[in-house]
Structure 1
Amino acid sequence: MNCLALSDLEQFAAALADGIRAELYLTPKPGLVDLCDNGSHDDLTLELMNRSAGMMREYLAELAVAIYRQQPFPELQQIGLKAEQRMLAELQSNCHRGGIFLSGLLLSAYGECRSDNPEALSNAVARLAQRHFLQARLTGSHGQQARARYHTGGIIAECLNGLPGLFQIALPSLIGNLNDLAGSCYLAMARLMQHCDDTTCLHRGGQTGLARLRKAGQELELCLLRGADPVPLLRRQNQEFKTANLTMGGVADLLGLTFGYLDFTNSRHGISSLSLHHKQPSSCPA
């Protein structure tokens, strides 16, 4: 029997779902759905993304039980695939397809290594990713097309390397300044914008679009390090991204994953949860 209690897996699953919703509520963001607008997504709304986040909670709860029962890895993969199919059928959109894969991989890695230690968990992610990509047949998704066209690793390289975007980029940015929650969230996002080979951005804007994403991340980080209010810059960047039809789904997925992981580890070590993750702001900031 797995020495992890089912409650541990369920707690991590719930935290990951909360993190995905927290990323949605972080406002404003360049090119992404938030409380202000739909960013560069004509086909998405806040309501639709909220429904998708709710489906993510159901999926992760199901996966937690399967991991506890030590179901074989191919069966865990099938749970993720069915969650993708259900989301597409019910919402007519793959709102959180990347989130389904990344959160499922991270939860499965936790079940395998039985530790929330960043190094141990990162190594377990890399091992599971290698197993997955050896077995999986890659489909003709936009991400796969962008990886082939621009010769970039994208989410595959991120996972095979143990999610450095989470453990080496976003997590230290959040931990380093928890007294300023909003600022630390935006700093994590800014650094992910500079690090992530975001295939949603590449699909829409090519290498030029990715370069614009990198530059926007640099501008945001400099703004934050100067102690300036980032909201006016973020609003301007959002308009620029909308004009260029750019978005950054990979950044969003990694940010939500980091929010969930940090909330989970904080709660296990007696540190209060990040309030951003558990309440919905009422409106777009003025």
Structure 2
Amino acid sequence: MIDTDKKKYSTYAHRIGDMAGSALLEEVYTAPKPGLVDPLSNGAHRDMNLLTFKRSTNALLPFFHEFAETGIHMSEKPEGCFLKIRQIGIQAENAMYEATGQVNTHKGAVFTMGILCAAAGSCFKKYGQVSISSLIMQEQKMVRNILLNELDSIQFKNRKDTHGQKNLCTYGSRGIRGEAADGYPSVINLALPVIRQGKKEGRHWNLVKIQTLFTLMSQVEDGNILSRCRREGLREVQKLSQEFLLAGGAYSQGAMEELIKLDTYFIHKNYSSGGCADLLAASIFLSEIEDGWAGK
């Protein structure tokens, strides 16, 4: 690889990593988000706040760059790339815990953003540009076989060492592994259409993000809700989210007042849709790629 190529790829890796970090901040600054951390509330969390999330994002930023660089350098070895970024992901998690005083702010986001950054890097190396379809195709080559085998193994051995494993063995919920193995259908089929429509209609960006979050909350099996509040809690969150959307959602006249009421109720019930928040960040990230940023 000649020096000009190295410089070009390094520049791209840093830009894609910066986009991932920006998407995490875009998510946390979306407000109000019932039960979740935002500038107005700590949600159903006593151990984290907006500053915790900012510290976490700053600590993770160099690793997002490294995920993208790994995708560039291992574009022809997709499964090997995934194994490599999982090792980097462990280092990223350690940096997150150190920055937050051992608080898990972004573990799920590290997994998802690691995959998406690496897939974006690989696509840029192979095609000179990145589209949503090519990124998801590359992501599938990276993770699908490995994660499907993992899911089968966890269920066969009835492993319950982590929240995700417990949710799989107890409820049959495949969590972020399943989402990645299936090509992020919640992002592609639920979230991105809402973002596209909101942008097309010229809606306020904060409202578009809230509408997208509630679309995810209305249908996704959120692993964080399952772990904290079991199946009954998940059903109620989905029901309340559906009712909010049917009443006009974030674009309705009384949306802000309703969101504040929901935040109070979610805090009381200990509801926090952290899985959907991570998917919102991923959706923001991919929306930026779709808008023509990548490869330019």
Q: TM exceeds 0.5?
A: yes
Match of 1:66 among 64, 70, 81: 70
Residue 221 of structure 1 is matched in structure 2 by 245
Instruction: Give the structure with the larger helix fraction.
Output: 2
Once the two structures are superposed, residues 237-270 of structure 1 have per-residue CA deviations (whole angstroms, 9 ceiling, x without a partner) of 1111111111111100010111122224325289
Counterparts of 1:20-59 in structure 2, within 5 Å, are 20-59=24-63
Residue 276 of structure 1 is matched in structure 2 by none
Question: Counterpart of 1:211 in structure 2: which amino acid?
Answer: R
Q: Is the 8 A contact 2:233 2:271 kept in 1?
A: yes
Unaligned runs of 5+ residues in structure 1 are 272-286
Question: Counterpart of 2:33 in structure 1: which amino acid?
Answer: K
Match of 1:235 among 235, 256, 260: 260
TM-score calculated relative to the size of structure 1: 0.86
Which structure would you say has the larger Rg? 2
Match of 1:119 among 112, 126, 133: 133
Secondary structure, counterpart of 1:43 in structure 2: coil
Question: Counterpart of 1:26 in structure 2: which amino acid?
Answer: T
Secondary structure, counterpart of 1:176 in structure 2: helix
TM-score calculated relative to the size of structure 2: 0.83
Alignment CA distance shift 1:270-1:64 (3 Å): closer
CA shift at 1:86, angstroms?
Answer: 2.2
Question: Identity percentage over the alignment?
Answer: 25
Say which structure, 1 or 2, has more relative contact order (CA 8 Å, 6+ apart).
1
Q: Give the whole-Å Cα distance in 2 for the aligned partners of 1:11 and 1:131.
A: 29
Question: Counterpart of 2:263 in structure 1: which amino acid?
Answer: N
Q: Is the 8 A contact 2:69 2:121 kept in 1?
A: no
Q: Give the whole-Å Cα distance in 1 for the aligned partners of 2:150 and 2:98.
A: 25
Residue 182 of structure 2 is matched in structure 1 by 161
Question: Counterpart of 2:193 in structure 1: which amino acid?
Answer: P
Question: Counterpart of 1:44 in structure 2: which amino acid?
Answer: M
Residue 83, structure 1, aligned to residue 95, structure 2: no
Number of corresponding residues: 271
Unaligned runs of 5+ residues in structure 2 are 155-159
CA shift at 1:175, angstroms?
Answer: 0.9
Secondary structure, counterpart of 1:156 in structure 2: helix
Counterparts of 1:265-276 in structure 2, within 5 Å, are 265-268=290-293
Question: Counterpart of 1:217 in structure 2: which amino acid?
Answer: S
Q: Is the 8 A contact 1:125 1:163 kept in 2?
A: no
Residue 282 of structure 1 is matched in structure 2 by none
| Coordinate RMSD, CA, aligned | 2.6
Q: Is the 8 A contact 2:59 2:99 kept in 1?
A: no
CA shift at 1:128, angstroms?
Answer: 1.8
Residue 148 of structure 1 is matched in structure 2 by 169
Q: Is the 8 A contact 1:147 1:199 kept in 2?
A: no
Question: Counterpart of 1:85 in structure 2: which amino acid?
Answer: N
Match of 1:100 among 110, 115, 121: 110
